Structure formats: structure tokens, C-alpha cells
Amino acid sequence: MRDLNTVFSLFILVVSLFVNGINGENPYRFYTWKITYGDIYPLGVKQQGILINGQFPGPQIDCVTNDNLIVSVYNYLNEPFLLSWNGLQQRKNSWQDGVSGTNCPIPPRRNFTYLLQAKDQIGSFYYFPSLGFHKAAGGFGSIKISSRPGIPVPFPPPAGDYTVLAGDWFKRSHRQLTLISEAGHNLPFPDGLLINGHGWNGYTFTVDQGKTYRFRISNVGIATSINFRIQGHTMKLVEVEGSHTLQNTYSSMDLHLGQSCSVLFTADQVPKDYYFTVSSRFTSPVLTTTAILHYSNSFSRVSGPPPGGPTTEIGSSLNQARSIRWNLTASGPRPNPQGSYHYGMIKTSRTIILANSAPIINGKQRYAVNSVSYVQADTPLKLADHFKIGGVFNLGSMPDKPSWGNGYLATSVMAADFRAYIEIVFQNWEDSVQSWHIDGYSFFVVGMDGGQWTPTSRSGYNLRDTVARSTIQVYPKSWTAIYMALDNVGMWNIRSENWARQYLGQQFYLRVYTSSNSFRDEYPIPKNALLCGRASGRRTRPL
């Protein structure tokens, strides 16, 4: 009898691991995070920030391809809270995506444990709080995914690996920014820029002369594109959101909202202190902040103004974006649509054109995609879909093409078929740069240009070595086109990374569907999933 009980217990354990989609061959990394308010002074003014384990920015997730990440989050705020994972693809697992369309918020004084996997990914990403304007109060941190041992990396190991979380910052609280947006007003101009939570010269990177270092930079702001540069030094781009790139050299780099990249630089100048400079792009006035690049054998402090950078010119930014190419000879995880790396040789089955707009609806400023301004449902869409709860969303609520009609409110969801290979065109007729992110995917940026996209625009596509990434910019009165293999079943958020636009409706969900009901295609609902709205009182699963 004891032997039978032992066998049964082992069987249950094996089934549990299988059902949860956890790969027992890969290491586990455990994190316990306490989310609290705390006093911070990023621009010299006391503010109430969102801290993780008392830190602003939050702790870095440092892992290796295919590692299992167990992140237990305790919410000590007096309001609901959610974390999302910008660029982490959540393979077969949109249950863990951490946005309002997939997850119930973590209530105050409650805990939720995310079960994530860095599945087939390398590179530089970040996490952030996804509800309301929490992102404007902190709660973000970096995610570093290294290649597995034995997998060649296309550059020698650097002497150091630094993280740079940069972006705009407001002295107003996240609650004030929420009220301004909900009243139908535009957000004020940001009060400054931060580098790793600090203002002017508030952070120092120490380097040894003659050695090469890696900087992983993410734009974690909510309103502005940025440009970064290192005084007196050039930088070599080596990675963009999980893709090894051709190693082009730049004197400065643009980074749009939500984007991440890695550069190498060599400390090959006269030993002294230099400025690491970040400034806003396409804004008037131009915001600037600096950190210190300190040579370890330096006795000279920085002096004079920081190096100037590009300001409102679009052409130089467009040319730089087009110059970013995929390193086809590099090893490591790659997007693999339908078993082929030759993304340009696969015929697309569907073209989706997405046009952003800024309509006035019911007397208030809203933002829209194809005239639809997203309204959050009372139940997460993923839960409504799983439990077959009617009346939460309609799969026909998000059109494939712009209607150019008046804006209207809806819980917009677009239907899509698993394993389809699609073309998406982002069309921007406004005067500001747009930045778009797609959860759950890495896509191929095949083209961008000014004016109206037409089918003849395909003649200029890069169908050989464009970079694969998860966040892309669209310049004013311009378009950007991507190819994407729908190889990840789930409910996935497509959103503006300009947070006021996202909050006021410039987002929707893509439901990538298969009828197979197989764990091979999608993991089952987590046993610990929080249930709310019309899903309250339901059961997740027994194992």
C-alpha cells in the first residue's frame, strides 16, 4: 500500500510539472518582492514613489535563456497593483503577462506569484507596473537574459555589464497625472529626465582604461523619445530587444518609448571623467540629464556643458533606424516562424493596417486605433474567454483597417489564427512620433517611410536581415510595417507606449486562437490565478 501511495504521489508531481509547463531541466530562480510606497527625491523634490524591496528602480532580474523565474509579489500599497514584463514573450503563457486584459490586479495586502520562463530568449528588457499611471511613480526594473553556457556570443566578454534605465519624469504624482488625463486634458511637459532613478550627475559608472564595457539601456519613460551618448567615445550597437545586431558604430543612439538595446564602448580616451548624457528627442524645449563616466585612474572631474545631441530632426533618426540590421551569423535564440529563419520568403496571409488618432469623445480627449478607443472590461478578457463568459468582449470589435470615421468607445479585441503569418502596418498621420509594443511576440521590422502606405510600398521592404524586436516607432506622417508569425496562443496586448495614449484608449488585444485545447499549444490556467469581475467564484483547476 505504501508503494502504491509513493507511485501515486510521484505521478501527481510529474503531472503537476507538466500541466504548469515548467521545464525541470532548467534552473529555477526565486524572487520575493514587497511593493511599498516610499519617499524618493529623483529631481530634488520629495515624492511618493513605488518601491520594490525598498529600491527605486527595482531589483534586476538576472537570468539565463530558458530559466524558470518564480516571482512572488506582495502588494503593500493601498490600491491594486500589477507587474508586466516588457519584451518577455511568455511562450504559451499569456496567463502571466500582467496586464489588465489577462490578469486580475493584486489587491492590497494580497500576494500573487508569477511563474515565468525566459523561453528561447536572450537580451535586454525591463518590467514595469501596468495599472493606471503607476509607471510614473517607479516600480520598474531591468531584465537581463544571458546566453546559455557554450552558446557563442558575437563579441568578447566585456569587462563590465551596466544597466541604464532612462526616461522622462514628472514631479506630479501618478494620481495627479491620472486625474489630468481623465479630465480630458493633455499631460504637462515632463519636469526632467532620470538615469537609474537619479537626476543631473546623480549616478556614476566606473571603468578601467583600455577595457570594453556593455551598457544595456531601456527607455522607461511615459512620454518622450530619448537620445543617449558618451562624451568623447563612440558606441557599437550589439543587441536590440533580444536580437544580436550588425555591430555598427554610432556617436549617439535614439531610443523610443519602451525600447531597449545594448551597446559596447571602450574606455580608450585620456583618463578623466566624462558625461554619459541623455536628452529628449523631438521636444521643445529639449530636456537633458547626465551621469558620470569615471575612469578609475582619473583625478579630473567633468567640466563644461555636456555634449550636444540631435533634437527635432526626423531624418537622422529614420536613417539610424534603417541602419539597424540583424546579425545573421550570430548564434543564440532567434524568431523561428514556421520552421524557417528566412522571414522574407514566407507569404503573409493577412494585412492589418492600424492608424492612431486623437478623437474627442463625449467632450473629452481620447486616443484610438482605427477609430476605436479601448475601454477596460469589468473582467480580464483572458478569463472571460477561458470561462466562456459572454458580453465581456466581441471579436468583431477591432477592425483590420482604418475607417477614418469618428472615434468611439469599445472593448476592442481582434481575432487571429494560430500559426498565421501576418503583415501589420502602423500608419501615423499625427505630428508626433508614436511608439508601439506587442506583448508575446518578436516581430520583423520590414520597412518604414513617410507618407501613406500602399501595397507598392512593399517594394522597399528589407526581406533579408531586418532586426526582430517587440517595440517599434512610427515617425510623424509616416508608416512602419512589420511581419509577425502568430506562433504564440493567447490574449496579447498591442498598445501605445505613450502612457497617456495607452491609458485613454490607444490599445487593443489580439486573440491568437486554436481549437486544439492542447498543452502543446497553450498552458492551462494557473492554479493560483486571481479571479475577479464576472469570473469571481469560479474555480481554476485542481492541480
Residue 261 in contact with residue 324, Cβ under 8 Å? no
Residue 414 in contact with residue 495, Cβ under 8 Å? no
How high is the pLDDT of residue 404? Answer: 86
- Selection from 532, 450, 410 nearest residue 106 by Cα: 532
DSSP 464-512: SSBPEESEEEE-TTEEEEEEEE--S-EEEEEEESSHHHHHTT-EEEEEE
Predicted TM-score (pTM) of this structure: 0.94
How high is the pLDDT of residue 5? Answer: 42
In the chain, domain spans? 28-146, 160-326, 350-529
DSSP 261-291: EEEEEE--S-SSEEEEEEEEES-SSPPEEEE
Q: Per CATH, which fold does 160-326 belong to?
A: Immunoglobulin-like (2.60.40)
Grid coordinates representing 489?
496562443
Q: State how far the Cα of 239 lies from the Cα of 269, in Å rounded to an integer.
A: 24
Amino acid at 14: V
Please give the span between the terminal C-alpha atoms of the chain, in angstroms, as a whole number: 23
DSSP 369-414: ETTEEE---SS-HHHHHHHT-TTS-BTBSS-SS---S--EEE-BEE
Q: pLDDT (tens digit, 0 to 9) for every residue of the chain, 543 residues total?
A: 434 343 333 333 334 444 444 555 799 999 999 999 999 999 999 999 999 999 999 999 999 999 999 999 999 999 999 999 999 999 999 999 999 999 999 999 999 999 999 999 999 999 999 999 999 999 999 999 999 998 999 999 999 999 999 999 999 999 999 999 999 999 999 999 999 999 999 999 999 999 999 999 999 999 999 999 999 999 999 999 999 999 999 999 999 999 999 999 999 999 999 999 999 999 999 999 999 999 999 999 998 999 999 999 999 999 999 999 999 888 766 555 444 468 999 999 999 999 999 999 999 999 999 999 999 999 999 999 999 999 999 998 999 999 888 999 999 999 999 999 999 999 999 999 999 999 999 999 999 999 999 999 999 999 999 999 999 999 999 999 999 999 999 999 999 999 999 999 999 999 999 999 899 999 999 999 999 999 999 999 887
Question: Do β-strands 123-129 and 83-86 pair in parallel, antiparallel, or remain unpaired?
Answer: antiparallel
How high is the pLDDT of residue 4? Answer: 39
CATH class of the region 350-529:
mainly beta
When the candidates are 3.20.80.10, 2.60.40.420, 3.40.50.300, 1.25.40.10, the CATH number that belongs to 28-146 is 2.60.40.420
- Selection from 206, 216, 215, 214 nearest residue 271 by Cα: 206
Q: State how far the Cα of 502 lies from the Cα of 373, in Å rounded to an integer.
A: 9
- Cis bond before residue 285 (omega within 30° of 0): yes
Residue 428 in contact with residue 476, Cβ under 8 Å? yes
Fold agreement (28-146, 160-326): yes
Residues 413, 416, 422: CA angle, nearest 5 degrees: 120
